[in-house]
């Protein structure tokens, strides 16, 4: 019998690749996103028996409630929750940033993720099985100029994931945080730079960055592990990316 996975942000990038990979691994996919036209295309691609579209905006808790309430009875026992939906907006210094951008990142990356998790978690605990995979970022560990609230939101995801593990002690519910570095083949930088596609393209030129398929393979691997094993966190970067010295400003 196929397991059921709920994947957020499924209309592009990581989410789309994850849904496709999990469907190939015999999961039934509940695909959540805002863009209905893309959800419809995915249903046509994967088939109605394999893919259930769920339109919702992660920044609106009432939309999450409505979408979950609309789930057919035979789609309600979710075995795998992939909290993929998230975004970065801008690379401005904190004293120059648009607070509306900060608020959108907080509402999506923190409030939406935690609210959806809170709605799904009780059924997993009741059935004493399930897996939650959160999409964090190396930005949650390594600070860089302009990452301010985005990096802080991903640090929240990292610590939230670990604290969920502490709360779930004594159950068979598992939690993993995947923390990618530089990734291409998604809309992430196009969104961050607010439609400046040229700037986004320059960021990845020659970098051989991580691809959505790499993240999808990682999700599939985690989900295939035996139920007595929990992968706490995975940090991953392209070979072309590394760490640098701490800068020192000399007066």
Which sequence positions are flagged as catalytic? 150
d(CA 85, CA 76) in angstroms, rounded, equals: 20
Whole-number CA gyration radius for the chain: 18
Which two three-digit tokens encode residue 251?
Answer: 């007066």
Name residues whose C-beta falls within 8 Å of residue 38's C-beta, 6 or more positions apart in sequence: 11, 12
Whether residue 42 contacts residue 10, with contact meaning beta carbons closer than 8 Å, is answered with yes
Task: In whole angstroms, give the CA distance from residue 97 to residue 133.
Answer: 30
Encode the chain in three state secondary structure: CCCEEEEECCCCHHHHHHHHHHHHCCCEEEEEECCHHHHHHHHHHHCCCCEEEEECCCCCHHHHHHHHHCCCHHHCCCCEEEECCCCCCCCCCCCCCCHHHHHHHHHHHHHHHHHHHHHHHHHHHHHCCEEEEEECCHHHCCCCCCCHHHHHHHHHHHHHHHHHHHHCCCCCEEEEEEEECCECCCCHHHHHCCCCHHHHHHHHCCCCCECHHHHHHHHHHHHCCCCCCCCCEEEECCCCCCCCCCCCCCC
């Amino acid at each position: 019998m196929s397991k059921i996975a709920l994947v957020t942000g499924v209309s592009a990038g990581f989410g789309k690749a994850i849904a496709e990979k999990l469907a190939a691994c015999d999961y039934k996919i509940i695909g959540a996103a805002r863009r209905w036209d893309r959800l419809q295309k995915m249903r046509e691609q994967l088939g109605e028996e394999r893919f259930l579209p769920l339109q919702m905006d992660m920044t609106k808790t009432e939309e999450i409630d409505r979408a979950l309430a609309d789930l057919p009875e035979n789609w309600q026992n979710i075995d795998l929750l992939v909290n993929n939906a998230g975004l970065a907006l801008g690379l401005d210094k904190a004293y120059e940033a648009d607070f509306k951008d900060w608020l959108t990142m907080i509402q999506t990356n923190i409030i939406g993720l935690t609210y959806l998790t809170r709605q799904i978690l009780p059924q997993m605990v009741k059935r004493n099985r399930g897996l939650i995979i959160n999409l964090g970022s190396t930005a949650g560990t390594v600070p860089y100029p302009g990452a301010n609230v985005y990096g802080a939101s991903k640090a929240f995801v990292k610590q939230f994931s670990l604290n969920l593990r502490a709360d779930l002690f004594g159950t068979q519910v598992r939690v993993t945080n995947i923390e990618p570095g530089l990734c291409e083949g998604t809309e992430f930088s196009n969104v961050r730079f607010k439609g400046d596609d040229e700037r986004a393209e320059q960021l990845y030129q020659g970098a051989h960055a991580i691809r959505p398929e790499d993240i999808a393979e990682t999700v599939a691997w985690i989900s295939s592990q035996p139920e007595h094993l929990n992968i706490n966190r995975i940090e991953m970067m392209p070979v072309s990316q590394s760490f640098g010295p701490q800068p020192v400003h000399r007066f």
